[in-house]
Amino acid sequence: MELGQLSEQAKMDALPRDWQYYTIGQTLTLTNGLAFRPSEWKTHGTPIIRIQNLNDDNSPYNYYDGPISEKYRIRAGDILFAWSGTTGTSFGARIWTGPNAVLNQHIFKVTPDKTKVAPYYSFLVLQNVQKEIERQAHGFKSSFVHVKKSDLVKVCLPIPPIPEQESIGKALSEVDQLIANLERLTEKKQAIKQGLTQRLLTGKTRLPGFVDEWREVKLRDEGTTYGGLVGKDKNDFGAGSASFVTFMEVMASARLLGHRLERVRVRPGERQNQVQRGDVLFNGSSETPEEVAFASVVEFNPSPSTYLNSFCFGYRLKDTRRIDPTFLAYFFRSSNGRELVASLAQGATRYNIAKTKLLEVQPILPPVDEQRAIVEVLRDAESELAALNVRLTRVRAVKTGMMQQLLTGRTRLPVREGAA
């Protein structure tokens, strides 16, 4: 049973005595944005805030150069609620941090009744009832959904006295600040790592002690290719005792650790190509020529019954005295590697690269000792990023736990004496 459907007595019994349940309609004013026509979008004037601007700070603005009523204007710190969008991303509550602007339709400006609810607490409690609101949304739950204002205003919010709201808001805002700091640090480290990767893999930056010339290497001379699973239908996947490397895992990273293998049925006597540690796996098709042949090296020990999905192919070195397989995977994700394979892609609506075409590639690579040194530097940078992401995930989980306790009254915070 949803919160909004509980009986009055049941709702009161679930709260501390000095808390109250109010509906969104009783505590918050929801002002919908304006319906701008594309012909009204300009290149100057007041920025128009659309769903994509809430979801991506770098998304470009459209502008409106006409008169705007104050009720539709938004400023940094205003609470916005996207009532139409995708669950878990653009749909839901946000605090605006951008420029002074005007709202497009599909977004509510949320104005709290300050006699009942403090502004930041109203944002927190909207976040906390997000799942309940999503259950009332209409549309395809895995994609685009919307919630009716008539349903939204009936959702119940547990509201403590104003002083306790302020204490809760202060505690959670400190966690939010920590999350924001970690996000900025992660973005900074990611940008540094990307820049370092490009410089090292193109030879623009050399590691200390390495001065030998980079040389052209013929992939055809150094290894062989193999294909993915063949002869399978939908009933074979998700069953059986064998496993396979998925397309998405190959695309995700230069280093494939085997954390997302899926099951497949392979019958005795079938001739399928097994994946081995050190193999470099490539996607054979993509929607754009720039995205074919992304490489991922197998850095785990596959079982003898581990195979490759049918949309990818593998490259296996004969030995590693001239090419380090992990370096090769990083190389094919660098700008130089992308340029080499993009020109080989063929197609119109979807682009493909043949295994034989990849073997024609002759990349210019450093000596293998320098390759291995570069790999160690990049692994260290990735480990640092991974540690930051783990910390960020943990802090977000702490915030979720705090919200579940503080916004329901299960855990109470001390309130400063004399607070109004």
116 within 8 A of 48, measured Cβ to Cβ:
no
Measured distance CA(10)–CA(6) in Å, rounded: 6
The 10 Å CB-count burial string (b at 16+, else e) for 155-173 is bbbbbbebbbbbbbbeebe
Mean pLDDT for 24-37 is 93
Eight-class DSSP state of 235: G
Q: How many CA within 13 A on the CB side of residue 342?
A: 12
Q: Please name the residue ranges forming H helices in 43-155.
A: 51-55, 119-128, 130-135, 149-152
Highest-scoring range by mean pLDDT, 3-7, 38-42, 269-273: 269-273
**H or E segment at 360?**
none
Asked if the model's pLDDT at residue 419 lies above 60, the reply is no
- Find the distance separating the first CA and the last CA of the chain, reported in whole Å: 35
175 within 8 A of 22, measured Cβ to Cβ:
no
Eight-class DSSP state of 141: T
| pLDDT tens readout for residues 55-105 | 887 889 999 999 999 999 999 999 999 888 766 666 788 999 999 999 998
| pLDDT tens readout for residues 216-248 | 999 999 999 999 999 999 999 999 999 999 999
Task: Give residue 4's pLDDT.
Answer: 45
Task: Look over the chain and give the mean of its residue pLDDT values, rounded to a whole number.
Answer: 89
Task: Give residue 1's pLDDT.
Answer: 37
Measured distance CA(74)–CA(291) in Å, rounded: 39
Sheet holding 62-64, edge to edge: 62-64, 46-49, 101-103, 73-74
200 within 8 A of 372, measured Cβ to Cβ:
no
For the chain, domain boundaries? 3-159, 160-207+367-420, 215-365
| pLDDT tens readout for residues 120-163 | 999 999 988 888 887 777 765 556 778 889 989 999 999 999 99
pLDDT band at 417 (very low <50, low <70, confident <90, very high): low
Tell me the CATH number for domain 160-207+367-420.
1.10.287.1120
363 within 8 A of 341, measured Cβ to Cβ:
no
34 within 8 A of 103, measured Cβ to Cβ:
yes
Please check whether the two domains, 160-207+367-420 and 215-365, share a CATH topology. Answer: no
pTM: 0.77
Angle at 358 between CA 354 and CA 363, to 5 degrees: 165
- Say if residue 226 is exposed, middle or buried (CB neighbours under 10 Å; 0-12, 13-18, 19+): middle
Percent of the chain with pLDDT over 70: 93
Class of domain 3-159: alpha beta
245 within 8 A of 308, measured Cβ to Cβ:
yes
Class of domain 215-365: alpha beta
- Say if residue 57 is exposed, middle or buried (CB neighbours under 10 Å; 0-12, 13-18, 19+): exposed
Measured distance CA(70)–CA(68) in Å, rounded: 6
Asked if the model's pLDDT at residue 15 lies above 50, the reply is yes
Asked if the model's pLDDT at residue 344 lies above 90, the reply is no
Asked if the model's pLDDT at residue 310 lies above 90, the reply is yes
Asked if the model's pLDDT at residue 41 lies above 60, the reply is yes
Asked if the model's pLDDT at residue 252 lies above 50, the reply is yes
| pLDDT tens readout for residues 355-378 | 999 999 999 999 999 999 999 999
| Spatial CA neighbour of 398 closest among 182, 237, 176, 204 | 176
Measured distance CA(280)–CA(293) in Å, rounded: 10
Eight-class DSSP state of 60: P
